[in-house]
């Protein structure tokens, strides 16, 4: 796997919106934060565009993605927000351009589709973590989110233990392998496409937002039925924000659904990680080797930059 270069003070980061359109007031607040870290900021040409639920047309969003990777001044790319739209441009991406210009690429939620496509087409480590308008520009942005975002300036491995949040280990054991995954809906959307996620020998990370337990059940069942979960080495359960049933009387709970599939998969599992649509939102590299240790209750992931 190719690790991008880490950031240093004075570097420029690009902000693009490859999915839905961001709120400008949150972008402005985030820029103050980024500049406070000693970074310069460059906006994508079409960052302020809106077209329905998209941040501009497909070709406009694609142009900003390509331009940011091609721009030698830009050392890292941070997505403004998720929403919807990345799967519409994946087949048009110039993956050779990205291979020639590897750099930090950060986002989550709908950006999961790009993480999977770029990692598998370009062999490039990307990063699941906070975005400009969704996180950095909000009052919920906290010291832990800030600390783990600043991994881009450091060479440390990422250690997630119970100093961050309480962790549970429904299936015990030690498991190692490259950490991959992201938003469950987007992982399901990749199935049957040229960007179908490869889970063989991997540590699978999943998170979700505003999906009822029956939908979580349907998606996990699809992963299981498609054979994708047979050969994973371990399972990492991040935040499932707002995934309660609207009618609790006639529904399984989220925990009941997760419990059912965790035990069917029967691989070392950690749950309770604050990664996803939550605060703090811990940044992790996707594609580097990781280790789950249920006895000592930690997840370790190899540094994603050089």
Q: Cβ(275)–Cβ(165) under 8 Å?
A: no
User: In 48-198, which ranges are continuous DSSP H helix?
Assistant: 58-70, 86-89, 95-100, 112-122, 143-149, 184-190
**Residue whose structure tokens are 């927000």:** 81
Choice among 207, 208, 212, 291 that is catalytic = 207
How many CB atoms sit inside 10 A of residue 160's CB?
A: 23
Q: Is 291 exposed, middle or buried (0-12, 13-18, 19+ CB in 10 A)?
A: buried
Distance of CA 47 to the CA centre of its chain: 20
* Active-site residue flag, 9: no
The one-character DSSP state at 52 is T
Measured CA to CA, the distance from residue 128 to residue 285 in angstroms comes to 6
Catalytic annotation present for 208: no
**Cα radius of gyration (the chain):** 18
Q: Which of 46, 115, 128, 277 is catalytic?
A: 277
Catalytic residue among 109, 134, 145, 190: 109
- Cβ density class 201-213: b for 16+ within 10 Å, e for less: ebbbbbbbbebbb
The C-alpha atoms of residue 284 and residue 302 are separated, in whole angstroms, by 9
First to last CA, the chain: 12
Q: Tokens standing for 126?
A: 């990307």
Q: Is 231 a catalytic residue?
A: no
* Catalytic machinery residues: 109, 207, 277
């Amino acid at each position: 796997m190719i690790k991008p270069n880490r950031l240093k003070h004075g570097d420029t980061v690009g902000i693009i919106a490859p999915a839905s359109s961001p709120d400008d007031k949150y972008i402005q607040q985030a820029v103050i934060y980024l500049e406070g870290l000693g970074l310069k900021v460059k906006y994508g040409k079409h960052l302020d565009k809106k077209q329905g639920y998209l941040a501009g047309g497909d070709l406009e969003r694609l142009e900003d993605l390509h331009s940011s990777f091609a721009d030698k001044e830009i050392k890292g790319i941070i997505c403004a927000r998720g929403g919807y739209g990345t799967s519409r441009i994946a087949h048009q991406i110039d993956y050779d351009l990205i291979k020639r210009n590897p750099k930090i690429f950060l986002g989550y939620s709908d950006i999961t589709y790009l993480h999977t496509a770029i990692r598998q087409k370009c062999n490039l480590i990307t990063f699941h973590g906070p975005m400009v308008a969704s996180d950095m520009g909000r009052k919920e942005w906290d010291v832990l989110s800030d600390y783990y975002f600043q991994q881009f300036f450091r060479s440390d491995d990422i250690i997630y233990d119970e100093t961050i949040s309480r962790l549970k280990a429904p299936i015990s054991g030690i498991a190692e392998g490259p950490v991959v995954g992201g938003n469950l809906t987007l992982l399901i959307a990749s199935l049957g496409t040229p960007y179908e996620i490869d889970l063989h020998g991997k540590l699978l990370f999943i998170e979700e937002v505003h999906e009822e337990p029956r939908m979580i059940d349907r998606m996990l069942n699809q992963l299981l039925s498609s054979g994708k979960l047979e050969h994973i080495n371990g399972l990492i359960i991040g935040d499932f924000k707002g995934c309660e049933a609207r009618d609790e009387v006639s529904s399984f709970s989220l925990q009941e659904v997760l419990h059912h599939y965790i035990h069917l998969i029967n691989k070392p599992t950690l749950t309770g990680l604050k990664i996803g649509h939550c605060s703090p939102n811990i940044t992790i590299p996707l594609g580097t080797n990781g280790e789950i240790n249920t006895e000592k209750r930690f997840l370790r992931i190899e540094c994603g930059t050089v």
